[in-house]
Amino acid sequence: MRIRVLLAAFVLCSVSACGGEQPAVETTEPPPVEPATEGAATAAEPQQPALDSDDSPAGTSIIAAGSEFGDMLYDDSGQAIYLFDVESDGEPLCYEQCALAWPPVLTDGEPVAADGVDTELLGTVERTDGTAQVTYNGWPLYFYAAEEPWEVKCHNVFGFGGLWLVVTPEGEAAP
């Protein structure tokens, strides 16, 4: 019986994984990590802007670039960045299974803003394990584990109790 329940959960997760045309459904397990498909939404690879440098250790670099949802945030390797709408108070709530599917954007130094990113909106928040998670306009930031660089598969997707939304350079969720 347990195997049937696990198999049913796997099938449900596979069908509802980000990138498809199906409506979003709440999941309790992380979605399976699958290679990108030809039909997956991708942004045109923009030119990466030059980053400012100084003598302090550089933290995670955040850039703004175009996507099908308008300009949004990425890290400097092109990973799309999301916010979790239930974290409006700025405290991270995504841990354990959630953080496996939605890894936090972490930094070892102060995050670095590239052209199009407002330095005043960048910050950090301490996670329960002591690591520093990058924030933007107070929102803790995340990646989706099953995306390739410049790929945006999970905008406006419900999972782990809230909506996952890409972040605009103004610090808000994209429409």
C-alpha distance from residue 121 to each of 27, 116, 127, 161, 168 (Å) = 31, 12, 19, 26, 11
> Is residue 47 scored above 60 in pLDDT?
no
Q: Name, in order, each residue with C-beta under 8 angstroms of 159's C-beta and a sequence gap of 6 or more.
A: 24, 26, 27, 31, 101, 102
> Is residue 4 scored above 70 in pLDDT?
no
DSSP 56: S
pLDDT, tens digit (0-9, with 9 covering 90-100), for 105-133: 999 999 999 989 999 999 999 999 999 99
pLDDT of res. 115: 81
**Alpha-carbon distance 22 to 48, whole Å?**
33
Nearest Cα to Cα of residue 120 among 169, 82, 167: 169
